[in-house]
Structure 1
Amino acid sequence: MQHDSSSLPLAVLLGDPAGIGPEMAARLLSDPQNRERHPLLLVGDECVWRDGQRIAGVDVQTLVLAPGEPVRHEPGRVTLLDLDVLDGQLPERGVSSVQAGRATLMAMDKALDLALAGRCAGLVFAPLNKHSLRLGGLQAEDELRHMQQRFGIEDFVCEFNITDALWTSRVTSHVPIREVADHLSRPGVLAAIRIIDRALRQAGTQRPRIAVCGLNPHAGDGGSIGTEEIDLIAPAIEDARAEGIAAAGPYPSDTVFLAAKRGEFDAVVCMYHDQGQIAMKLMGFDHGVTLHGGLPIPVATSASGSAFDIAGKGVANVQGLQRAFDLCVRMIQARARAEAAVQA
């Protein structure tokens, strides 16, 4: 059954209940302008939501629904689908635990169930904690691969990290550094270039300028410090250029972000997690966004983590989550306009 994307809610998750996520979600949804921009459905435990409001120092009028109850919205109130996974007992703050991970994972899975049933148009989640998720039952490499499995997607998926106008994708993600080279391939590099080119075009960039990092110091220095650039990365760049993608490289990763920061590129394709993350977080940790690319709905979060060290102190910065929320809303509305144009 087809649904109008403009009428479907954006699901909002509280993140890890032991971290700063509930506080950030409370700050986000306490803003009446955010509540008015698109129908919203908060998914999680009521006790966690109340705790987040207390820490944030806000009081958000909330309509609480039990599982299975029809979703409805009332003006000026946040609709919460209360899962009550924790049975009203908050987990220990500031530490990973089975309880926190299970609550986070079950809220995520409920939101994914809604998306699979055509009952939500996107998902924005406050920071979670991967170790807690694994303690709570996550079997996949990370939450993106878990979502990929739930949606039954076989094509390449990738985290995009976004700071201001600059995007990154990466060929490998949450794998040990010693395994990175073994995970690289010419098709894999090409897939990471293709997916970010497509996403930027969907976001309005007509011809994205894409820089591709090398793997080794000095991008291999002509083969004297490794040959992955010659054997895998440069051929993949040529494949992309043959498809009409404006890709260039491979560039040394210790200098390419200087050029990107000057505005010479719209995106940087990285070979592994920290190759891009360190640069991006230095440029804008407090307002960075992570977008999960390759999924059938927009899924985004702040680039910051669960920050156990400041959990419960009421000092969490909501900028990154706000920008993730903004991005999801824009993408949902753009899809709705595209659907309307097709039907016209």
Structure 2
Amino acid sequence: MALGDAGGISPELSAKVIADADANAEDLLVIGDWRLLKRGAEQAGVSIDLPVLGLDALGGDLPSGSFMVDLANCDPDTLPLGEASVGGGLASVQNFRAALLAANAGHADAVFFTPFNKFAMRLAQPDYVDEIGFIDATIHPAESGREFNVLEEIWNARVTSHIPLSAVAGRITEQRVFDSLCLTDKTMRHVGYERPRIAVAALNPHAGDGRNFGTEDDDLILPAVKRAQDLQIAATGPIPSDTVFVRAMRGEFDAVMTMYHDQGQIAMKLIGFDRGVTLIANYPFPIVTPAHGTAYDIAGQGIADLGATRNAVNLGRRLALIEKQTSRAVSEESLSDLFTRALDPSTIWETRAS
């Protein structure tokens, strides 16, 4: 569990989820600055009973239940509350990197983080674009991952994510749509859907209106859907995006695959803002976070809703149990060495947008 942005609600949510009996199953490895977590507990009005270890203590026997590794990298007294800062962004980058390295080395089964702020992270690491690019640059996987937004009612998959809207049409290709459909089907089957029903949102108004409003839906998206159907993937589309979520919420589909970030995010946050989880899939371990942001406007007030955070922890734990069926070797590199490497200011890598 990586502590998120210090200026927002992440410290409070981190403390709340540790204190929450429905989410803390005594298996959390908490990564960040103890001072920040302590302030989060004070803001939230909760008590946390958690062993805290410094890097120098990681060479010995580790506690059997949940514990925290204090990276001592984010003194909250030196950072502004309610806004992005270099210090908050740097700590977020380091905490996330440490969690990824620990999981990739087999020392953890899943990665969960409370909300980051990408602007703050770019202040600290100018090439930071989004989580997927950073994950790829950190663990060098065989394949890149994709983001899914998860609610009990519906899933949302994306063909593109953190890129300018002006660049979306140029990134929509038949192969990319097809690959996204295959990954969506694979991921949802992995978590228990027998044959997930996937609605594919159109890119253009009225699905192109017979090529009157654009050709991508007919020339790129439809052929990809037909290819997926040939593989027995239950894909339907392209469906006009102003009605696709209506049909999904009526029970016609299990997931909606959208062409760009806000095409799906607006609908998903209207449906369940305080419940939604972002799942970053297709890596050797699940990566989860609440789907909302850092909420600078209510930082420090102790009123942040725990729902999405609790759901994210529980989904990560559920997926980790599934992943355990495939054993992963534990690296010989110690947690102390991994976390020291995560804090090294020279480890700045080029990342890319999804």
TM-score, length of structure 1 as denominator length: 0.91
Identify the residue that residue 204 of structure 1 maps to in structure 2.
192
Alignment of 1:72 with 2:62, yes or no, is: yes
Aligned pairs for 1:93-242 (under 5 A) are 93-137=81-125, 139-242=127-230
- Partners of 1:69 and 1:165 in 2: how far apart? 44
Structure 1 spans left out of the alignment, 5+ residues: 1-11
| Deviation by residue 1:177-214 (Cα, 9 ceiling, x = unmatched) | 11110111111111111111111101100101000011
Q: Which moved more, 1:170-179 or 1:37-46?
A: 37-46
| Contact 1:47/1:90, CA 8 A, preserved across alignment | no
1:304 and 2:292 are equivalent in the alignment:
yes
Matched, 1:16 2:23: no
Residue 88 of structure 1 and its aligned partner are, at CA, apart by: 6.2
The 1-side partners of 2:133 and 2:123 are apart by 16
Consecutive aligned runs of 4 or more in structure 1 exceeding 3 Å deviation = 87-90, 337-340
User: CA offset at residue 226 of structure 1?
Assistant: 0.3
C-alpha distance in 2 between matches for 1:79 and 1:90: 25
Which of 20, 43, 47 aligns to 1:59? It is: 47
Task: Compute the displacement of 1:74 (Å).
Answer: 5.1
CA distance in 2 between counterparts of 1:207 and 1:138 reads 42
Structure 1 residue 339, shift from structure 2 partner = 5.2
Q: Does 1:31 align with 2:17?
A: no
How many correspondences in the alignment?
326
Distance in 2 between residues matched to 1:311 and 1:208, nearest whole Å = 38
- Residue segments in structure 2 that go unaligned for 5+ positions in a row: 329-354
Deviation at 1:261, TM superposition (A): 0.6
- 1:151 deviates by 2.1
Q: For 2:186 and 2:142, how far apart are their aligned partners in 1?
A: 17
Match of 1:315 among 293, 297, 303: 303
Q: What amino acid maps onto 1:165 in structure 2? A: E
What per-residue deviation string (whole Å, max 9, x for no partner) do you get for residues 35-73 of structure 1? 3x3511100001110111000001101211112432622
1:82 alignment partner in structure 2: 70
> What letter matches 2:242 in structure 1?
D
Q: Using the alignment, how far apart are the partners of 2:22 and 2:165 within structure 1?
A: 43
d(CA) in 1 for partners of 2:324, 2:28? 16
Distance, in Å, in 2 between the alignment partners of 1:145 and 1:126 is: 18
Post-superposition Cα deviations, 1:82-113, rounded to whole Å, max 9, x if no partner, equal: 11113564410111111100000001111112
Q: For 1:300, what is the secondary structure of its paired residue?
A: strand
Matched, 1:252 2:240: yes
Comparing 138-147 with 171-180, greater Cα deviation is found at 138-147
Structure 1, 173-182 or 62-71: larger mean CA deviation: 62-71
1:337 Cα offset (Å) = 4.6
Q: What is the identity, as a one-letter code, of the residue corresponding to 1:26? A: A
Q: TM-score if structure 2 supplies the norm length?
A: 0.88
Residues 144 and 283, structure 2, Cα contact 8 Å, conserved in 1: no
Q: Percent identity?
A: 40
- Is contact 2:285–2:323 with CA below 8 Å preserved after alignment? no
> Of the candidates 257, 274, 277, which is equivalent to residue 269 of structure 1?
257
Indicate if the aligned counterparts of 1:148 and 1:295 stay in contact, CA closer than 8 A: no
Distance change in 2, residues 1:192/1:112 (3 Å): same
Shift of 1:152: 1.3
Residues 149 and 276, structure 2, Cα contact 8 Å, conserved in 1: yes
CA RMSD of aligned residues (A): 1.7
2:52–2:68 CA contact under 8 A, matched in 1: yes
Secondary structure of 1:287's match? coil
CA distance in 1, matches of 2:201, 2:76: 48
